[in-house]
A and B are shown apart, each in its own frame.
Chain A
Amino acid sequence: MPRWVKFLLFLLLGLMIGLIYGWWIDPVRITDTSPWMLGAEYQTEMVLMVAEIYNSSLDLDFATNTLTILFMQSPGNVLDQAVRRAREKGYSPEDILSLQTLSGAYKAIFPGEFP
């Protein structure tokens, strides 16, 4: 076998080891993240907390501002996703109702955002 072929094979071996190590064994750790980078289930939990507070205070400004600040996107989308995930993950009916109540209140005020 030519020398350069051997070199190339060993190079590929090293490359594979490096990739496996960097992608799976010790991947880049995400720290100092923002809420919108959280895993879906954690985002849903945060939205649920906002919904719980809304259902007590009925302060829609607080709820929409909070969702916008935390998730950097339209509160309507955030709420729709949270309701869907809550259903998928088997949240309690009370939790789903909390989310739906806030979502409904938001849609009533901002109907143009929804088709």
Chain B
Amino acid sequence: MSRGARFVDPILAVTVGLFIGILVSWWIAPNTKVDSTPAGLHPAYQEEYRLLVATSYGISHNLDRARSRLSLLNDIDQAKALINLALKIRSGQFISSIFPAIKDVVVYDLAFLAYDLELPPPTPELESAGTSRPTGMLPTRTYLPFTLLSRQAVCNEFSRDTLARIQVKDSLEQQIPDLEILVTWEGGQQRFFTGFKPEMGMGYADFIMDPGIIYTIQIPPPNLALIGLKAPDCQSNDGTIYTGGVLLVFQQP
């Protein structure tokens, strides 16, 4: 036997054995006894899991536990994942099999868990003094009346949009997600919620105003009515008049 041929047999045998071993361990008899974690769930079940965590949190207000449960999903941004789910539910992109008749409160729970997850943890000084608030009893849960903090025209010569941009904050300057806003005008009305454009802020919402129409904005409850809102006139550099948008900031006192 030549020197080269002496190595051919072992290499060939090991390669064939390796191939058979991989074939058996991956396809014929895989080791499937590995316990699966929630991160391995099908995406639809992961959403159901988030719904359960948020709904449970809405009852227990145990933020540490909710955070711990969500951590099993290995989300990079837990709050964002919750808001995305709320948006998908609102837009009808996701229909839960365990909450088939999605109630507003479920979306509310998602939004508030997302909001609470984003809050800074209480400081040790506050804890030791016994003055820290239990989570879930934040002022945003009890709706205080809102006041219109500012109202300004938004004139963008390039986009020339007529958006009414609304920002809603609590008394701690934190933006409030999933807050229902009612807009009415002669012959129509529209309801929408803050937080559907997270890139603009969790307390942000907007709607397109038609030129010449007068709108009333209400934030329930208790209702604050901003009456007589109208798309403002703006002037471009060349002197032409166009319709612009507004920025409204509401805040709890």
Q: Which residues of A contact B (CB under 8 A)?
A: 3, 6-24, 27-35, 37-40, 42, 45-46, 49-50, 52-53, 55-56, 62, 65-66, 69-70
Contacts and interface: CB of A to CB of B under 8 A. Distances in A.
A13 B98 CA distance: 51
Contact of B17 (A14, A22, A39): A14
B59 interface: yes
B139 interface: no
Given A14-B17, A38-B38, A22 B9 contact: no
Given A14-B18, A49-B52, A53-B55, A7 B37 contact: no
B41 A33 contact: yes
Interface string B14-50: 1111111111111000111011111011110100110
A51 to B, nearest CB: 9
Given A14-B15, A15-B18, A53-B55, A22 B41 contact: no
Contacts of A30: 32, 34, 36, 40
Nearest to B10: A10
B138 interface: no
Contacts of A53: 52, 55-56, 59
Interface residues of B, number: 42
A5 B203 CA distance: 75
Given A39-B36, A53-B56, A10 B98 contact: no
B41 A32 contact: yes
B8 to A, nearest CB: 10
A22 B25 contact: yes
B201 to A, nearest CB: 30
A18 B31 contact: no
Nearest to B29: A23
B97 interface: yes
B13 A11 contact: yes
B132 interface: no
Most buried by B among A12, A13, A22, A50: A22
B53 A38 contact: no
A40 B22 CA distance: 29
Given A28-B30, A32-B43, A33-B36, 9 more contacts: A7-B10, A13-B17, A17-B21, A18-B21, A27-B34, A30-B40, A35-B45, A49-B53, A49-B69
